[in-house]
Amino acid sequence: MLAARMYGINDLRVEQVPTPIPGPGEALLQVKAAAICGTDVRMLTAGAAGVDAKHPIILGHEFAGVIASVGPGVTAAAPGDRVAVAPNMGCGHCDLCVSGNGQLCADYRALGVNLDGGFAEYVLIPAQAVSGGNITPLGTGSFVDGALNEPFSCALNGSERCAIRPGDFVLIVGAGAIGLMHAKLARLQGASRVVLSDLSADRQANARKVDASFTTVGALDAQKVADLTEGHLFDVVITACPAPAAQQASFSQAAVNGRVCFFGGLPKGREEVMLNTNIIHYKQLIVTGTTRASLTQYRKTLRFICEKALSMEDLVTSRAPLTDIAELFELAKAAKGLKNVVEFA
Ligand SMILES: [Zn+2]
Ligand SMILES: [Zn+2]
């Protein structure tokens, strides 16, 4: 099969490798769509633990396709099934795994992160993922929507913690693909005004194309925040960008009893941020952060997609075959457009 393997920093090779054969409990997925994520870019440009010239890895943790074959004893999937596959696996027996949060397990593994992933014609789904419920039917959803369900489920994780209610004013800082997923979720939950703030005029224009009801702005100051919310300030602020300044500004942008989610992690070396915690105190803010998504959240967002409540297709700005994956990575590195997707015939 054809696969894009990472051999080290900025060393990605599209080459022929043996197609895996599923053993007992395992399944083989024929990939139909796989999306590039900031994590893939970070791994390729900064390096990844355990990956070197002797130990290459196939990246890609956002993917969907068709079950090609299954090993002995598999009942959770059958050849021909159209499915999306959640990439994360925990040990299965620690408290976090038992509580349904295997994605937070200390012994967590993930397809495309430390096991071969979706930038290949086929992916071997380990027995633990097959029996653990990682394979989820896609219904009539598109393969692209199935691939983008992974980051979408992570956005739901952040959104759920913000408890968006009908009528809320919601601010999302960063109008990249993740920011727009948050904006779509806020709209679905009845937010009265969804504001996306981004310094890039291109991203603002993209956001309005995705949904004309989104309000877009550049840099925000106190006056603009007041104007955008009729003096009320924002019930919910979600930082969907790796910017310390966005975190610092968020408390002042939030209304009394507001909820703030630091969704985007910060780059190494910039994690220590000076924050005025008295604002949390006097405004009774709830401040949270989230990472990854549970299988429950993965299934829930896939249901939105299957029921056509939401589509992610409009977040895809570039599509290419696997042979051209390097060009897609260049676009992702330059933060041009939104989502870059590898599509397979
Ligand atoms: Zn991702
Ligand atoms: Zn565990």
For 173-202, write each residue's pLDDT tens digit: 999 999 999 999 999 999 999 999 999 999
139-169 pLDDT, tens digit per residue, is 989 999 999 999 999 999 999 999 999 999 9
Q: Which ligand is nearest to the CA of 99?
A: 2
User: What's the 63 CA to ligand 1 centre distance in angstroms?
Assistant: 10
The pTM is what? Answer: 0.96
Number of CB atoms found within 10 A of residue 49's CB = 8
HEC sequence for 216-240:
EECCCCHHHHHHHCCCCCEEEEEEC
How many whole angstroms from 90 Cα to the centroid of ligand 2? 4
Closest CA to 106 of 122, 95, 116, 115: 95
Measure the CA–CA gap between 158 and 26, rounded to whole angstroms: 31
Ligand nearest to the CA of 95: 2
CA atoms within 13 A on the CB side of 12: 26
CA of 288 to the centre of ligand 2 (A): 23
Q: pLDDT, tens digit, for every residue of 212-265?
A: 999 999 999 999 999 999 999 999 999 999 999 999 999 999 999 999 999 999
Domains and CATH numbers, the chain: 2-142+311-343 (3.90.180.10), 156-289 (3.40.50.720)
Q: 18 CA distance to ligand 2 centroid (A)?
A: 31
Average predicted confidence (pLDDT) for the chain: 97
What mean pLDDT is predicted for residues 17-43? 97
Q: Which ligand is nearest to the CA of 149?
A: 1
**Chain segment 108-128, per-residue pLDDT in tens:** 999 999 999 999 999 999 999
Helices (DSSP H) in the chain: which residue ranges? 38-46, 95-98, 127-132, 143-162, 177-188, 201-210, 222-228, 244-253, 277-283, 295-306, 325-333
As a whole number of Å, the end-to-end CA separation of the chain is 13
Determine the distance separating the centroid of ligand 2 and the alpha carbon of 279, expressed in angstroms.
36
| Residue 230 CA, ligand 2 centroid: distance in Å | 47
Residue 91 Cα to ligand 2 midpoint, Å, equals 4
Cα 117 from Cα 120, distance rounded (Å): 7
Q: Is the pLDDT of residue 78 over 90?
A: yes
Q: Give the ligand at the shortest distance from the Cα of 60.
A: 1
**DSSP code string of 312-339:** -GGGEEEEE-GGGHHHHHHHHHTT-SSE
- Ligand at shortest distance from the CA of 112: 1
The residue type of 112 is: G
Residues 27-50 have a mean pLDDT of 96
pLDDT computed for residue 336 by the predictor: 86
Q: Which residue has the tokens 């989610």?
A: 261
